[in-house]
Structure 1
């Protein structure tokens, strides 16, 4: 089973840039999109439907903001949006699909920006999310989660760690949250397979950073440790353009 996650930085833009053709060529079993930034009810069906896929959308109350969408080739047993916490759910950040033998969480985690209030919101979201997925595992349900985490976990995960040590996305308190995930039995699939590989998934559009590969690894697939025997491969498709992020992928037996 091949799963792909991609922050597309706007559904309409990536659609015009050929998303449909890319999906037809790559044929993932599950495609998780972040920052769709649109309400499918406001678009023609021809611009929201991928052939042979069912689509499930979480839409923010604020127009043109946030939003995540999961596309599945196989029927999902159930679908839910959000964490059940209104202040998070109004931003359209989570789609949960029952994929048969595991739950898949497609998540656009908050950006801390330069605003301490938004940083607190981000850290609260991390905490609530960890509580939710830990509860699912405790109930006997394996979990995979993916998306734009908006934090580079380790120094290897960004090109200039020293210069960004006081910037949201690499703050100690943000990284500590990811440490908590790992301590709770969650595994960063790419880093598990490639502990020393330098690879990024996001580049600033302001400074021609992608051409110089001055990037950050912000996009992840995390799996619960109980799923490690099924982990076949994981990667980052840096060759794919169309957004300031590139797709990341995971293969499970």
Structure 2
């Protein structure tokens, strides 16, 4: 049995984090896989010296524009297969990477924000339902689903009523359905009702502990008893999101 460590972080601009050395505390954790959301860049614009020296294979998926979205997966072990969408139509949004390893599958997600208009909510629900369909097909395998879902799932995942109105019941029900497929919120395995958050509007809200838990590791039922720990690395505070860390015994 070997230990697998994964860190997921909505980095809010990966080139800025690298330039300011904000990414260093995450790299020092020596994770096997690091998942970055909202990278706001493409591979071609990355610092090649950094990529050569960081010790990881990297897979980038650019977002809708240079200022929004984008995923990057850094991995020490090269995956067997890498796919960049649930369905072809989702590829342009830069919001899904599926990496097949020898003994597990990793689904890296960055869900759209559903607020503002009905069209945005429908776009988000379409994305999440595509995720559900994919998860349903893979539920009997060893699967990890990780990233920024832009949803506070339960009451314990939000600090106040003002935060609650950001998330609709339709969005939350998608995570209920994911759990009904057998997927487990890894953080809640050992943190049943704790009000710990991964996202804050600003530094003042962070200091007041007024935020939401939007970032998750969901593991398939077959992996639940292999979760060693799942923690929020809230000491790393250079983004509006804190990184989250999952350690599994595989």
| Structure 1 residue aligned with 2:246 | 250
In the alignment, does 2:176 pair up with 1:179?
Answer: yes
What CA distance in whole angstroms lies between the structure 1 residues aligned with 2:93 and 2:72? 13
TM-superposed CA distance for 1:153, in Å, is 0.5
Pick from 201, 212, 236 the counterpart of residue 204 of structure 1.
201
CA contact (8 A) 1:236 1:247 kept: yes
| Structure 2 residue aligned with 1:112 | 114
CA contact (8 A) 2:64 2:70 kept: no
What CA distance in whole angstroms lies between the structure 1 residues aligned with 2:22 and 2:136? 34
Distance 1:173 1:20, change over 3 A: closer
What CA distance in whole angstroms lies between the structure 1 residues aligned with 2:239 and 2:65? 21
In the alignment, does 2:125 pair up with 1:128?
Answer: no
| Structure 1 residue aligned with 2:6 | 3
CA contact (8 A) 2:139 2:181 kept: no
What CA distance in whole angstroms lies between the structure 2 residues aligned with 1:137 and 1:155? 26
In the alignment, does 2:80 pair up with 1:84?
Answer: no
CA contact (8 A) 1:103 1:144 kept: yes
CA contact (8 A) 1:40 1:48 kept: no
TM-score by length of 2: 0.93
TM-superposed CA distance for 1:137, in Å, is 3.0
The alignment partner of 1:18 has SS state of coil
| Structure 1 residue aligned with 2:148 | 148
The alignment partner of 1:90 has SS state of helix
The number of residues matched between the two structures is 246
What CA distance in whole angstroms lies between the structure 2 residues aligned with 1:117 and 1:107? 20
CA contact (8 A) 1:17 1:242 kept: no
Where in structure 2 are there 5+ consecutive unaligned residues? none
Residues 196-235 of structure 1 aligned to structure 2 (within 5 Å): 196-205=193-202, 208-235=204-231
| Structure 2 residue aligned with 1:74 | 77
Distance 1:109 1:128, change over 3 A: same
| Structure 1 residue aligned with 2:44 | 41
CA contact (8 A) 1:68 1:92 kept: yes
Which deviations, in whole Å up to 9, do the C-alpha atoms of 1:202-233 show, x marking residues without a partner? 0002x721121111000000001111121111
**Root mean square deviation of aligned Cα:** 1.6
Where in structure 1 are there 5+ consecutive unaligned residues? none
Between stretches 14-23 and 242-251, larger displacement belongs to 14-23
TM-superposed CA distance for 1:61, in Å, is 4.4
TM-score by length of 1: 0.92
